[in-house]
Amino acid sequence: MPPYRYQVGQGDQRNKLASSYQSLLSEFSSPELTNVGNYSIGKLIGKGSFGKVYLASHTLTNGSKVVLKSANKDDANLAREIHHHRQFLHPHIARLYEVIVTETLVWLVLEYCPGDELYNHLLNNGRMEPAKVQKIFTQLVGAVSYVHGKSCVHRDLKLENILLDKHGNVKLVDFGFTREYQGSTSYLQTWCGTICYSAPEMIKGEKYAGEKVDVWSLGIILYALLCGELPFDDDDDSTTKTAILKTDPVYPDHLPQPAVDLIKKLLSKRPLLRPSLGDILKDPWLAEHAPQQQEVLKLQQPPPFTTDLEKDVLERMRSAGVDIDMVIENVLSQRCDGLAGWSNAKNAEESENDVSVKRMPNLSVASVQLAVAFLHLVRSTRWKKAWSLDPREQEVDR
């Protein structure tokens, strides 16, 4: 007869196997989705006609938080959104880390912004103090200027598409209606966006200059931030449209006059009278924060894989046995796959900001994903023993 300890050990093993088997059956039979790719799905934080939005965490690193946004494969705007968003690298545009295609859905892995939407912020707290609005609005103008500089227009600027990070900085999202734009000689004609943010010429069904409808929407947003409500908003859409076409906003007495002057320029019924994004950044009311945004817009990005930092990253990856040719092809073609997904593996948001913003002058758009991804990869517990970070990177971690 086997010893008692052996019998107990066998019993424990059988119990563990049975428990594991039951857990597997429960996972198969559960209607709730628990994992997508390398991400563990958390709570539902939003839903709409596009699909659902979840808070999630990366399972292969330190559990860094991301946002998973689902969309149907037949979504007409999905390909456009991914195509444009993956090209945008700006401190006030939320990063698109990865795209995961499943049998039924496409999942966008996005930067997590714990500060929530500006819409919810106003709903819960009311209007903002002018000093805070100056900072937020200037950052938003900087982000939109960057998009326009890429020969694109957003066309869906609204409070719901502006998030705040944990430091209260702006992160622009949702590029489903973004369109290539050739400048002042090119006009668009498709109506899109939300009525209460729509410019008069768009409501009339006229051809419109894309950058001018974005400027109008910025005026609506600025008014809402300062007043706590939209200037043109009614439960009846036709009433809202009439107000946009025929009336002017009511300006409360508490608004600073320089802010009122700026809003009036942005909300001119005549598109040609609305200022350019560059002129908005020169407005005296935004003078405190505009220089920073102007400097970001001036940054010149070198050709891919030509900087010392990028060459060093590639060499260290080669030493680790990584197929460098595949990595270069991956990054140059802007594939938002698992490699790009590593960039969400942050030990701290400050280190992410340091890599992607402070070093941005030394990185190309194509290779910044590689640099950020690898710098975070070597910081993870699994790789720290194999790599010694240089003093510059060690300082970032502290």
Residue 163 identity: L
> Quick one: which of 364, 312, 371 has its CA closest to 339?
371
**Cα–Cα dist 232/213, whole Å:** 15
Cβ count near 299 (within 10 Å): 14
Structure tokens at 217: 């929407």
**Cα–Cα dist 226/224, whole Å:** 5
The dihedral through the CA atoms of 251, 257, 259, 262 has a sign that is positive
**Cα–Cα dist 148/398, whole Å:** 37
**Cα–Cα dist 326/245, whole Å:** 54
Give the chain's end-to-end CA distance (angstroms, integer).
Answer: 60
> What does 118-177 look like in DSSP terms, one character per residue?
HHHHHHHH-SPPHHHHHHHHHHHHHHHHHHHHTTEE-----GGGEEE-TTS-EEE---TT
- What is the H or E stretch that residue 348 is in? none
Question: 172: number of CA atoms within 13 Å, CB side?
Answer: 32
Residue that is written with structure tokens 């608004």 in the block: 255
Cα–Cα distances in angstroms (integers) from residue 260 to residues 170, 178, 185, 280, in the given order: 22, 29, 30, 13
Residues forming the active site = 156
Going by the DSSP 8-state scheme, the letter that residue 125 receives in this structure is H
Structure tokens at 375: 């710098």
Residue that is written with structure tokens 């500060």 in the block: 115
Binding residues for ATP: 65, 69, 160-161, 174
